[in-house]
């Protein structure tokens, strides 16, 4: 890392390198948080499904709506105006 910083200083791009490293660390932390939240949503959804039975249509509807956040492919809409959607596929070492 020291050599990277020296080279960035020499090329006058230290700010860019610094921002890149900072953003990369932030992305890594966010991914770890996303994974643990995703696992928790999946576990809670499964638990609710098992515990409530088939005679709970409103809870089943909720689980259906949240399925796009608890399946292996997470899907969210960024903007309703221009239909921008992000899909993330989560693969763990066991998959």
* Residue 27, pLDDT score: 96
Could you read off the pLDDT tens digit of each residue along the chain, which spans 95 residues? 888 888 988 888 999 999 999 999 999 999 999 999 999 999 999 999 998 877 888 999 999 989 888 889 998 888 777 778 889 999 877 65
Query: How many whole angstroms separate alpha carbon 64 and alpha carbon 18?
Result: 43
Mean pLDDT of the chain: 89
* Residue 95, pLDDT score: 53
Query: Which pTM value belongs to this model?
Result: 0.75
Please state, in angstroms and as integers, the Cα–Cα distance from residue 62 to each residue in 31, 44, 48, following that order: 25, 12, 10
How is the chain split into domains, by residue range?
A: 2-69
């Amino acid at each position: 890392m020291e050599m990277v910083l020296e080279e960035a200083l020499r090329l006058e791009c230290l700010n860019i390198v610094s921002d890149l490293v900072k953003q990369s660390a932030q992305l890594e932390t966010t991914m770890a948080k996303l994974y643990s939240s995703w696992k928790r949503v999946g576990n809670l959804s499964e638990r609710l499904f098992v515990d409530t039975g088939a005679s709970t249509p409103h809870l089943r509807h909720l689980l259906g709506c949240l399925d796009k956040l608890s399946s292996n492919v997470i899907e969210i809409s960024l903007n309703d105006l221009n239909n921008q959607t992000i899909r993330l596929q989560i693969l763990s070492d066991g998959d």
